[in-house]
Structure 1
């Protein structure tokens, strides 16, 4: 980034609101603090961090990925952004990996590399690579691990190709969720986590609109940068391990969607979410929950890449219903 562009970025970001705003939030909305900077990703190999997932095998271990045209590799970092190691997915292609998700089923931890990016909405199908999460004890910055996919899930959208940069797993439903990036409003889609092996690409199920994401206005809406005119585009997604909260990352903010008792995600997304304080990152593309669902980590493309954290306030967290550790 040039010095002049960096100066313009800093000045423009200083004009952005620093506190939470939400047309949908009410007195019952949980209180989230932050963001605070935990550290920075400085590993040269991780220069386009486009996704983020928390390990199911080690607390404080995060997985990330580079996007289009890079190696089919997932990278591990700690909560301060320090490089821990990497795993290459054998036989995979990184056409445009835009997110990574983690989940656990029957005591086994897994990662999904999401080859779902499609800027021009022209690719006939999307591909998800599912691997067993590597043993953290085997990770090392000095050598790369290798993993064969346990499953490869191919899918198409019911209404034609879509650009997407987000993917999450709801283990309570055994389902995968993605959200379109460039449609207004964004649209959520659902896939089975364990599809029948028919050989043909799956057809994603339309869940419905993701409402409540604020479009930019004024000077910001005229600036041709991610946090400017494209501020409302969705670029990452995660669902808490108890299946009660979804965090949606845009280039400008983080939004929290909560399911009420007996409610599905279609209703929760349609109702709108709680907007947290602006993250003020130049091109935020990675987000995930902590294991207990009471923290949210966010990072950006580029180097160095700040690693941020939002935290549920202690009073709210104590009264929140059943997040599993």
Structure 2
């Protein structure tokens, strides 16, 4: 098995190359040398504990939100972290908001699906629309393979901190708190309603997944892990984890919690202390 104890996650992230080959899914090429990662700012203290990122304006502003238990607000900030707007979404509750996504019509999706103990039965995704994002619709869902709330500790793989939107669907990735190191990918319709998610794919990774995004051209998916970003090339008609895989080491970003593509190659990462980092792809 390609599983590492939790206290070795960051130290052994680099050993991921070749790890998934035992599942016949190919190995990860090390892309660290192709990127320059630099700190670009720090989010205003009101929006620290940043847990999600999404693009807000063509000028480069970002939406973010605080972690679970904080107020139900979205914050629009510059890439340097300066606060521009605080959007109050009361009477919604921030039970455990974990990530943001956006569709072609610039509707925002707020993932209230953090589930540390694997016992929640009220998993929600809120869709915000309208000129001021004040129209709120709700997507409720359950996992098709969860039978107990919570399951036994080795089987706790129903926490989620990562998703993205693509072609009328939402793609969710689990933060495995069990013992087999498998990340599961689920799919939901991106429209209001009550659904049972579809289990679409799975892959063994040695770190928790805390954020996800898809590049604007739809060709590449990035998953944020502990000290590492894993990228997958999407192949038409194939499962996501069948695609070509690369990994980028980001050891200086601390406990990173959010990631968003700002173009087809570059992305911004935030950590729990509100620091913002730009991962810029170097020309060949």
TM-score bracket, shorter-length normalisation? 0.7 to 0.9
Structure 1 residues 263 and 36: alpha-carbon distance in aligned structure 2, compared to 1, 3 A threshold = farther
Residue number in structure 1 paired with 2:220: 245
Residue number in structure 2 paired with 1:157: 143
Residue number in structure 2 paired with 1:306: 275
Residue number in structure 2 paired with 1:193: 190
User: Any unmatched runs of 5+ in structure 1?
Assistant: 1-11, 136-145, 216-231, 316-325
Structural mapping, 1:1-325, within 5 Å: 22-23=17-18, 24-26=27-29, 32-41=34-43, 43-55=44-56, 57-104=57-104, 108-132=105-129, 147-149=134-136, 151-160=137-146, 162-170=158-166, 173-182=167-176, 183=178, 184-194=181-191, 197=193, 201-211=194-204, 213=205, 215=206, 232-260=207-235, 262-264=236-238, 266=239, 268-270=240-242, 273-290=245-262, 292-302=263-273, 305-315=274-284
Structure 1 residues 16 and 30: alpha-carbon distance in aligned structure 2, compared to 1, 3 A threshold = closer
Contact persistence 1:20–1:276 (CA under 8 A): no
Once residues 222 and 122 of structure 2 are traced to their aligned partners in structure 1, the CA distance between those partners, rounded to angstroms, is: 25
Q: Deviations over 1:15-38 (max 9, x none)?
A: 9699997432459x7973121111
Contact persistence 1:32–1:310 (CA under 8 A): no
Displacement of 1:168 after TM fit?
Answer: 0.7
Once residues 31 and 54 of structure 1 are traced to their aligned partners in structure 2, the CA distance between those partners, rounded to angstroms, is: 26
Q: Deviations over 1:155-187 (max 9, x none)?
A: 0111126111111101xx311011010152110
Q: Deviations over 1:93-129 (max 9, x none)?
A: 111001111222xxx3111111010100001131011
Once residues 18 and 164 of structure 1 are traced to their aligned partners in structure 2, the CA distance between those partners, rounded to angstroms, is: 20
Contact persistence 1:238–1:246 (CA under 8 A): yes
How many residue pairs get aligned? The number is 255
Displacement of 1:235 after TM fit?
Answer: 0.5
Structure 1 residues 313 and 168: alpha-carbon distance in aligned structure 2, compared to 1, 3 A threshold = same
Once residues 263 and 165 of structure 1 are traced to their aligned partners in structure 2, the CA distance between those partners, rounded to angstroms, is: 26
Structure 1 residues 119 and 50: alpha-carbon distance in aligned structure 2, compared to 1, 3 A threshold = same
Higher strand share: 2
SS at match of 2:92: coil
Displacement of 1:238 after TM fit?
Answer: 0.6
Displacement of 1:133 after TM fit?
Answer: 6.7
Structure 1 residues 133 and 276: alpha-carbon distance in aligned structure 2, compared to 1, 3 A threshold = farther
Once residues 46 and 240 of structure 1 are traced to their aligned partners in structure 2, the CA distance between those partners, rounded to angstroms, is: 25
Residue number in structure 1 paired with 2:22: none
User: Any unmatched runs of 5+ in structure 2?
Assistant: 1-7, 19-26, 150-157
Larger radius of gyration: 1
Displaced runs of 4 or more, over 6 A: 17-21
Contact persistence 2:29–2:247 (CA under 8 A): no
Once residues 95 and 30 of structure 1 are traced to their aligned partners in structure 2, the CA distance between those partners, rounded to angstroms, is: 35
Q: TM-score, normalised on structure 2? A: 0.81
Once residues 45 and 82 of structure 2 are traced to their aligned partners in structure 1, the CA distance between those partners, rounded to angstroms, is: 11
Q: TM-score, normalised on structure 1? A: 0.71
Structure 1 residues 48 and 77: alpha-carbon distance in aligned structure 2, compared to 1, 3 A threshold = same
Displacement of 1:253 after TM fit?
Answer: 0.9
